[in-house]
Structure 1
Amino acid sequence: MRIIGLTGGIATGKSTVSNLFKANGFPVVDADVIARDVLKKGSGGWRKVVAAFGEDILLANGEVDRPKLGQIVFGDPSKRQLLNRLLAPYISNGIFWEVFKLWIKGYKIIVLDVPLLYEAKMDRWTNPNIVVWIDPETQLKRLMARDRTSAQDAQNRINAQMPLDLKRSKADIVIDNNGLLEDLDENFKKVLDQVTKPLTWTEFWLSRQGAIAAFMLILTGVIGCKKLLARV
């Protein structure tokens, strides 16, 4: 099985690329969706976060006020690291089970959409790793336009993440998204050709089909040995 790592930065267009994968029939495991699930009222992640940050971060219905929590952690690196540590085990577990369910269904190629792919060291389990990249000026302008926020607030949110150029240096594939949507579509088609190459033998044996084939080979070997021993 081939697990593709997809990451980028805020307002880089990573979600657009993720949707392009979906539109082309690839299953996508979205870490942001899982992160929302592990913060639902009454969950283990919810209890840990409320204990650490207090009930002031809750809405009237008991759910976490995500924008308020975001403002707290984006303005304080230590609190952001604390939040990541609290939720990391729940998110990792959620990702594992989503991948496992897709493995059971027989998918050979899965896309793992993780904003903190490198920060969480999850790139060790994905290959190739794709980074959606734009230059800093474009990123700032797009974020300000998207969220209707000030330049300072937008820059603070960008600074809270690993620098895009550092992510780009770690990537196997870089998607330059500085242009128009049409340009992104063309770039994506080239990436699609790269990631849909035949599985390597290692990737095949990790797939469900490979596991079944390995089991059958072992079973055949065991039966053959028993027959051989019976003749002796």
Structure 2
Amino acid sequence: MAGFIVGLTGGVASGKSEVARCFEALGVTVVDADAAAREAVAVGSEGLGEVVAAFGPEVLAPDGSLDRPAMRRRVFADDAARAQLEAIVHPRVRALLRTACEAAPGPYAMAAIPLLAEAATASGSGVRTAYPWLHRVLVVDVPVEVQRSRLLARDGIDAALADRMIAAQATRAERLAIADDVLVNDGPLEQLPPHVAALDARYRALAAAAG
């Protein structure tokens, strides 16, 4: 049972997934918020039932699952609808993440939460209030120009769309403001493992000290 939990976050194209894979290679359980979000509204779940009650059966796909493109279109242009959806989904996601992390083997576990800074801003009370069970926050940091160049290469999009994707998230400064630890990932992938190994050693020592 992991008694120490680290939140992992970073902006789009910062390399969060690769960092997570490096931790997993060291035997660390990494629980993904996106997977928890899918589980929160899985077919037959209480969460999906609440979404249908709030938005109507038209948000369901023919197989009974949530029609995610339809739901995105519904909330994209309606702030009140987005807030209503988040009020249903986000508490369930946080509960699923916490349960999975606490049940993980090893001295510590990691919760990969791409929009951690955004959640803290939205709550108006910071990360420690939104996620009081996180003991540390690790931010994967890259300069905005590196994000842009990676998005252009990875997704084959134009610069205007890349800039909109970056602007839709928290700023680099907002992410760094919530960080206990920062991993600068502006170099080649082969530079990551030693940095991750050093952080892993730190987290194991902190977990041991925490009891």
Provide TM-score, normalisation by structure 1: 0.73
Instruction: Please say which structure displays the higher CA radius of gyration.
Output: 1
**Partner residue, 1:46:** 48
| Structure 1 match to 2:98 | 96
Distance 1:70 1:191, change over 3 A: farther
Instruction: Tell me which residue corresponds to 1:127.
Output: 135
Q: How far does the alpha carbon of each residue in 1:170-199 deviate from its partner, in whole angstroms, 9 at most, with x for none?
A: 201111112111122333233223222253
Q: Could you say which residue in structure 1 is the equivalent of 2:17?
A: 15
**Percentage of pairs with the same residue:** 34
Deviation at 1:162, TM superposition (A): 1.7
Once the two structures are superposed, the pairs formed by residues 75-90 of structure 1 within 5 Å of their partners are 77-90=79-92
Q: Does 1:69 align with 2:77?
A: no
Tell me the equivalent position of 2:6.
4
Q: Structure 1's 13 and 40: CA in aligned 2 closer, same or farther, altered over 3 A? A: same
Distance 2:141 2:103 in 1: 30
Q: Relative to structure 1, is the Cα distance of residues 188 and 199 closer, same or farther in structure 2, using a 3 angstrom cutoff?
A: closer
Say whether 1:189 aligns with 2:197. Answer: yes
User: Who is 1:142 aligned against?
Assistant: 150
Give the Cα separation in 2 of the matches to 1:28 and 1:48: 28
Distance in 2 separating the partners of 1:149 and 1:54: 34
Give the whole-Å Cα distance in 2 for the aligned partners of 1:70 and 1:148.
Answer: 22
Which stretch shows the higher mean deviation, 72-81 or 135-144?
72-81
**CA deviation profile, 1:144-165 (whole Å, cap 9, x unmatched):** 4333444444433333322122
Contact 1:176 1:184 survives alignment (8 Å):
no
1:81–1:156 CA distance, 2 compared to 1 (3 A)? farther
CA drift of 1:54 comes to: 4.3
Counterparts of 1:76 and 1:134, CA distance in 2: 31
8 Å Cα contact 1:75-1:156 kept in structure 2: no
CA RMSD of aligned residues (A): 2.6
